[in-house]
Amino acid sequence: MNKLNTLTYTKIAAAINFIKANFKAQPSLDEIAASVHLSSFHFQKLFTEWAGVSPKKFLQYTSVQYAKSLLQQPTTTLFYTAIETGLSSSSRLHNLFVNIEGMTPDEYKNGGQHLQIKYSFADTIFGDMVIASTQKGVCYMAFIEDAAVGFNNLQSHFSKANFIEQTDELQQHALSIFSKDWQHLQQIKLHLKGTNFQLKVWEALLKIPTGQLTTYGNIANTINSPKASRAVGTAIGSNPVAFLIPCHRVIQTTGNIGGYMWGATRKTAIIGWEAATIFQ
């Protein structure tokens, strides 16, 4: 790392420490930039390149994580959580959660208690799967080796939701992709919960054409975060919907297949199958 990069890293690290130490005061961009002796414009650009998110988003993530720790306590009220987090009202806390978590703070506190999720098991050409959906779309899809373990993993994502073992059209449309019956692709709907950064990465994955591959670095460039390859890798590894969001199409710059949540052998098989389809 050259002297310039070392200086930049030092400034970003100092800014992150400042945010973590002062998030309850909800410091402005100008205040954070001043803490590391940079102009607001230059700091905003520098921080976003290195962290993969803006200073404002990082502040929001930090606030949400603290609010989550408070909300896990049964007697904690939303108003108390909002004030303790440095927000002026519970409505601001509500808006923050919807923006970052994809759900309200009350829904988070209840662990998806009022969410009804239908799930089923399916046999695909790449192995057994568990697939789940809400009224809005497919919320979970994963390859499994054991049905009980697969269901437990699904439950861990929505700890207090109401689960019903039942197949619906949303699931059927999604599974049709394995039989190359792609006439229903436009009818596949997803209901995902993730940070803005994760959603941005997953959206970029959806744009990779069938039968083609890309790298973590290319995805980082696509979402205008060229220094965030590692963060991109983490977001790809958090993909809750196997195959439909094609994280299997991302490989290492060296050409190695790289990791895959559901196994490198399966990833290689999927890549080969997709490549074969474009020549038929």
Catalytic site residues? 247
**Nearest one of 20, 261, 225 to 126, comparing CA atoms:** 261
Q: Six-digit token pair at 45?
A: 């650009």
Spatial distance between the Cα atoms of 58 and 182, rounded to a whole number of angstroms: 39
Q: Cβ–Cβ contacts within 10 Å for residue 157, how many?
A: 15
Summary count for the chain: helices (H), strands (E): 13, 6
CA 52 vs. chain centroid, Å, equals: 13
CA–CA separation, 15 vs 45, rounded Å? 13
Which of these, 266, 262, 242, 263, lies nearest to 132 by C-alpha position? 242
- Measured between alpha carbons, how far is 272 from 213 in angstroms, rounded to an integer? 11
Q: What is the Cα–Cα distance from 18 to 63, expressed in whole angstroms?
A: 13
The Cα 197–Cα 100 span in angstroms is 9
Q: What is the residue-wise DSSP string for 54-101?
A: -HHHHHHHHHHHHHHHHHTSTT--HHHHHHHTT-SSHHHHHHHHHHHH
CA-to-CA dists, residue 25 to 65, 77, 98, angstroms: 15, 20, 21
